[in-house]
Amino acid sequence: MNAETSPILRIESVAKSFGPVTAVDGVSIDVRENEFFALLGPSGCGKTTLLRMLAGFETPNAGRILLDGRDISPLPPEKRPLNLMFQSYALFPHMSVRQNLAYGLEMERLEKAEIRRRVDETLSTTDLTQFADRKPDQLSGGQKQRVALARALVKRPKVLLLDEPLGALDKKLREKMQLELKRMQHEAGITFVIVTHDQEEALVMADRMAILKDGRLLQVGTPEAIYERPADRFVANFIGVMNFIDGRVGEGGLFEAEGLRLALADAGPGPATLAIRPENVALGALGEGLAGTIADIAYHGLDRVLHVKTAASPVPLQIRVPVSGTATHQVGDALSLRIDPARCRLFAGAAA
Amino acid sequence: MSFNATRPNLLAAPGVAWLMAFMVVPCLLVLSYAFFQRGVWGGIDYTFTLENFARVADPLYARIFLNSARIALTTTVIAILIAYPAAYAISRAPRLRQPILLFFAVLPFWSNYLIRTYAWIVLLNREGLVNNLIRSLGYTGEPLSLLYTEGAVITGLVYNYLPFVILAIYSTLSRLNPELMEASRDLGAGPVRTFWRVTLPLTLPGVAAGGVFVFVLSIGNFVTPALLGGGRFQMVGNLVYDQFLTANDWPFGAALGMALIATMIVLLFAQARATAHASGEGRGEAA
Amino acid sequence: MSGQTTMGAMTAAPPAAGATVPGVFRRRLPGRIVLLLVFGFLYLPIAVLVLLSFNDSGLPTSWSGFSTRWYVALAGNGDILRAAWNTLVVAVFATLISTVLGTLLALGMETRRRKSNGLEALAFAPMVIPDIVLAVALLSFFSRLNLTMGLHTIVISHVVFDLAFVCSVVRARLKNFDYSIVEASRDLGASGWTTFWRITFPVLLPAIVAGALLAFTLSVDEFIIAFFTAGAGRSSITLPMQIYSMIRFGITPEVNALATIVMGVSATALMISQWLNKEQVR
């Protein structure tokens, strides 16, 4: 791990099982100060359990959770300097927006004037001042989301945990809120740990992210690093769109599949899968490279995605071509694909 | 909704007619008796008078009314104090066990009221189980007079209506989003403060619903005071009974019944208003 | 009136999903003690009665051996047998009428486009009105009409509250009813009438039977209204009335045996009713 910034939150070989079901299986992650960190994975991967252990609602069976070097795992939720923004927002329906915000500060036994000052300040930075006296029932989805965020932020936690914070919003609002969350994280100067199943959301918002599957940590890194250099077939498939070609590597690092031969520098012999992103496949002149025919064309505005049937893969390969390009394609056209070995990933082992 | 959507009123008509004929009309009839005089031989003398209402306010009867209210209130408070922890414990039990626990908590409520009351005669008798138990613990004096006391009446009422209060409170507890309690803990409140500031305020509607129900049924009760109070305890219900079946003063009995119904309606409306207010339905105040 | 939701819940299956209990709240012991005490309070008096009914001496003071003599004595008591028969007649007729009327009322109320507060109050009132008030009202009503009172007037009176409970059970089920299956049936060519008998009715049937069983137990157990509307004479005495006079005028141990039987019957009916309602939810 990078040593230049000390981790504010260190998850050390944490494990949790519910009866026979292992939810989190020995996960270690370092979260650095002031970063926007995403825990990403399909449902049931253990990310929510991990978040609930950070907040204190579940106790790990093994491992430690260190905040600023101090083990917080024995502490109950109310004693932890972390706050959680709940998926359902969990706004107290019998309290106004202002009372919701003040609640956490009253628990710290702050003076009334101080509470009022801090609540007012947070209300204004989150654009909620005009809604201060409303009850949660009288707010829209986006407003409730902001109140939930404000209620956690006003406590000035060392780390703010967010459980699928945008899950309940529609697509347009979600995209707007993604940027707003990032801006608020910046302004507040607080470390954010967000749980999401939406890889696009994680790519847009996170400084770094961790990919979990079946309770195990698969990869940690920046969105770019994970997108460009996925650690395994699962990550490659989970993040973005990826084409897979099953084949085998022969002597001398030559990857062979039906209709395709590719010299790769650092490949050991044996069965392997070649992975390449749609935008990294180029179209070549007929006769060279991998031959195929267009099975389908999907228009995406800025570009088109061609689904190309080849001998190398049972699934059509996806090729992304700019719309502005002069070439006109039609279903049934024969074409040739050029694959640059430098832009491929190779995963050893037989395909699952 | 196409099934018979054209004639919902027709479907409802027979039931509505039955309720109108055998509930609304009889109630209006008996309440109208309250405005007439008692006949010489016990019938109704159709001469308008407000005398019956004046008698309800007469210190002798007002005292019985207040006494009934006091007993009903004590019953309500005790029932809530027992039912809340029970409902809370059920709502915290493993999910699959909750319906079973709830069913067995409510089961006695649907079984015979007389028998459940009678069971307490057996227990509280001078020769009853409780006295036997006390004696076996070394008490040698006269057997305690537990039966035919106000305590016995209250015990019987609490016993009979407890299941309903458990159910009412449980139903609000189980509808509560558990993340609200977690949010409170997360914001720094311990379990006790979370209970007082989040759980309890949000379950007050259930407490109110159960409480009003117990109060209304207790104040108008007739069987329990008759059996466990041994006639020594006059409650409004007994008074109504007496006017109709022994004293033969129907107009006065009707006036008493009207007072009971008025109490019930006032309490139900107050509860409905309070519930609507508590759940934040008062829209538009700030908008 | 918001008591209604609780009432609906009470007569229907209990809310099935208590929320998941999070880890920090999973402290079981105090809860168990509370439940033990409360269930003890609820069931101990009943258990004592049942036990006493098998006590040879019939006295609560001492256990003198297991015996079924009080049950045998019941079987030879003509008054009690007649009261039991009367109760059965009243409960059966009241249940039949109230099940039909209550179900129709529920269907009518749930298919209305706009909720009518008057209708809501009317269907809710029989469940909260003090029974002594309803009892004297019906007594006044029947005597005003110069009707000879007997089992038939008890049936008429019992239908009033029975139908309210049947209605509330069926309505609770209708609230979860997926109306698209009705539309699907119409779409597939069935008429409104065929759709009702082939689709709506079978889906509602368990709730209707559950409501009927509840009405039956309520009717079997009801005392005050029956007492006021039975008229003079011993010919229309029901079991609860018989039990009441046995309790008031000299306790015989036979009461314990009778009580045990009556409670057994209601508990069985309620368990079947509950079970039917639960099956339906799945």
Taking only the tens place, the pLDDT of each residue in B266-278 is 998 888 888 777 6
Q: How far off is chain A from C25, nearest CA to CA, in Å? A: 9
Residue B287 has pLDDT above 60, yes or no: no
Which residues share a beta bridge with A245?
A274
Q: Are residues A88 and A48 in the same domain?
A: yes
Q: What's residue B87's pLDDT? A: 95
Cα–Cα distance, C276 to A125 (Å, whole number)? 55
Contact between A59 and A53 under an 8 Å Cβ cutoff? The reply is: yes
> Shortest CA distance to B238 belongs to which of A305, C117, C135, A191?
C135
A107: nearest CB among B180, B189, B280: B189
**HSE on the CB side for A217, CA within 13 Å?**
18
State pLDDT tens for residues C19-29: 344 444 555 67
Q: What is the pLDDT of residues A102-121, one digit of tens each?
A: 999 999 999 999 999 999 99
Residues of B in contact with C278 (CB under 8 A): 99
pLDDT at residue C135 tops 90:
yes
- The amino acid present at C206, given as its one-letter code, is P
A261 and A209, same structural domain?
Answer: no
> Which candidate, A51, A50, C25, places its Cα nearest to that of B94?
C25
C49: chain B residues, CB-CB within 8 Å: 115, 118-119, 122
Q: pLDDT at position C270, please?
A: 85
| Domain containing residue A114: CATH number | 3.40.50.300
Amino acid at A157: P
The CA distance from B87 to the nearest CA of chain A, in Å, is 21
Cβ burial, residue C59 (10 Å; 0-12/13-18/19+): middle
Q: Is residue C43 part of a domain?
A: no
Q: How far is CA A55 from CA A49, A86, A147, B184, C24, in A?
A: 10, 11, 19, 12, 11
Considering the domain architecture, whether residues A311 and A174 belong to the same structural domain is answered as no
Given an 8 Å threshold on Cβ–Cβ distance, is C23 in contact with A57?
A: yes
- The whole-number pLDDT of residue A156 equals 92
Residue A2: inside a domain: no
Q: Is the model's pLDDT at C50 over the cut of 50? A: yes
* Residues of chain B contacting C262 with CB distance shorter than 8 Å: 111-112, 115
State residue A4's pLDDT score.
52
For the residues B45-71, what does the mean pLDDT come to? 89
Instruction: State which amino acid sits at residue B131.
Output: N
Contact yes or no for A133 and B286 at CB 8 A = yes
Task: Identify the weakest region by mean pLDDT among B147-151, B207-211, C152-156.
Answer: B147-151
Q: Can you read off the two tokens belonging to residue A61? A: 């069976």
Interface contact B88, partner C, CB < 8 A: yes
What are the backbone dihedrals phi and psi of residue C199, each rounded to the nearest 5 degrees, phi first? -115, -65
Contact B123 C59 (CB under 8 A): no
Q: State both tokens at A259.
A: 């209709």
Burial of B189 (0-12, 13-18, 19+ CB in 10 A): buried
Pick from A234, A258, A289: which residue ends a domain? A234
The HSE-up count of residue A184 (CA atoms within 13 Å, CB side) is: 21
Please report residues of B whose CB lies closer than 8 A to that of A91.
183
Write the ipTM.
0.86
The Cα–Cα gap between C55 and B118 comes to 17
Same domain, A197 and A268: no
Q: Which domain holds residue A287?
A: 241-348
- Asked whether the beta carbons of residue A56 and residue C22 sit closer than 8 angstroms, the reply is no
Q: How many CB atoms lie within 10 A of CB A330?
A: 7
Task: Return d(Cα B256, Cα B53) in angstroms, integer.
Answer: 8
Whether residue C209 is contained in a domain is answered as: yes
User: Quick one: tokens of B93?
Assistant: 């039990």
pLDDT band for position C252 (cuts 50, 70, 90):
confident
Inter-chain CB pairs, A–C, below 8 Å: 12
In a domain, A1, yes or no: no
> What pLDDT is attached to residue C3?
36
pLDDT of B170 > 80? The answer is yes
Q: With contacts defined as CB-CB under 8 Å, which chain B residues touch C15?
A: 170-171, 174-175
CATH fold group of domain B62-277: MetI-like fold (1.10.3720)
Which domain CATH number covers A300? 2.40.50.140
Compare CB distances from A90 to B182, B201, B287 and report the shortest one's residue: B182
Q: Which residues of chain A have pLDDT under 50?
A: 1-3
Residue A214 and residue A305 in one domain: no
Cβ pair C8, C173 in contact under 8 A: no
Q: Which of A257-266, B129-138, C125-134 has the highest mean pLDDT?
A: C125-134
Q: How many CB pairs below 8 A link B and C?
A: 334
Nearest to B186 among A84, A91, A92 (CB): A84
In a domain, C193, yes or no: yes
Asked whether residue C55 is domain-assigned, the answer is no
Residue A121 lies in a domain: yes
Task: Examine the domain organization and report whether A23 and A153 are in the same domain.
Answer: yes
**Residue C58, in any domain of the structure:** no
* Res. B212: pLDDT tops 50: yes
Specify the pLDDT at position C27: 59
Angle between helices C151-175 and C201-221 (to 10 degrees): 140
A118 three-state secondary structure: helix
Residues of chain C with Cβ-Cβ distance to A76 below 8 Å are: 24
Domain ranges within chain B, ordered by starting residue: 62-277
Chain C residues 100-139 with CB within 8 Å of chain B: 100-102, 104-105, 107-109, 111-113, 119, 122-123, 125-126, 128-134, 136-139
Q: What total number of domains does chain C contain? A: 1
The mean per-residue pLDDT over the stretch C192-215 comes to 88
- Write down which residue in A214, A234, A254 finishes a domain: A234
CB contact under 8 A, C133 and B260: yes
Task: Look at B171 and C6 and tell me if their CB atoms are within 8 Å.
Answer: yes
- Check which CATH number belongs to the domain holding C205 and give it: 1.10.3720.10
What per-residue confidence (pLDDT) applies to C8? 40
Q: Are residues A172 and A115 in the same domain?
A: yes
Please, which chains are in contact with B (at least 3 CB pairs closer than 8 A)?
Answer: A, C
Q: Are A189 and A125 in contact (CB under 8 A)?
A: no
Candidate from A222-226, B45-49, B183-187 with smallest mean pLDDT: B45-49
Residue C13 reports pLDDT greater than 70: no
Same domain for A220 and A264: no
Closest CA to A249 of A231, A275, A267, A274: A267
Res. B27: pLDDT tops 50:
yes
C2–chain B Cβ distance below 8 A for any pair: yes
Its domain, for residue C145, covers 77-281
Same domain, A149 and A206: yes
User: What total number of domains does chain A contain?
Assistant: 2
Would you call C139 and B111 a contact, using CB atoms and an 8 Å cutoff? no
Enumerate chain A positions whose Cβ falls within 8 A of a Cβ in C. 52, 56-59, 76-77
Q: Does B127 touch chain A (CB under 8 A)?
A: no
Do A200 and A76 share a domain, yes or no? yes
Q: Is residue A44 part of a domain?
A: yes
Residue B139: which pLDDT band, with cuts at 50, 70 and 90? confident
Q: Does B95 touch chain A (CB under 8 A)?
A: no
Contact check, Cβ <8 Å, C133/B110: no
Binned at pLDDT 50, 70 and 90, residue C256 comes out as confident
pLDDT for B221-262, tens place per residue? 888 998 898 877 788 888 898 898 888 889 999 999 999 889
Burial class (CB in 10 A: 0-12, 13-18, 19+), B20: exposed
Q: Out of C25, C196, C266, name the one closest to residue B110 (CB).
A: C266
Asked whether residue C187 is assigned to any structural domain, the reply reads yes
From chain C, the residues in CB contact with B129 under 8 A are 48, 60
Task: Compute the nearest-CA separation of C73 from chain B (Å).
Answer: 19
Per-residue pLDDT of C101-116, as tens digits, reads 999 999 999 888 788 8
C195-198 CB contacts, 8 Å cutoff, 24+ apart: C195/B2, C195/B3, C196/B3, C196/B4
Quick one: pLDDT band at residue C281, thresholds 50, 70, 90?
A: very low
Contact A56 B185 (CB under 8 A): yes
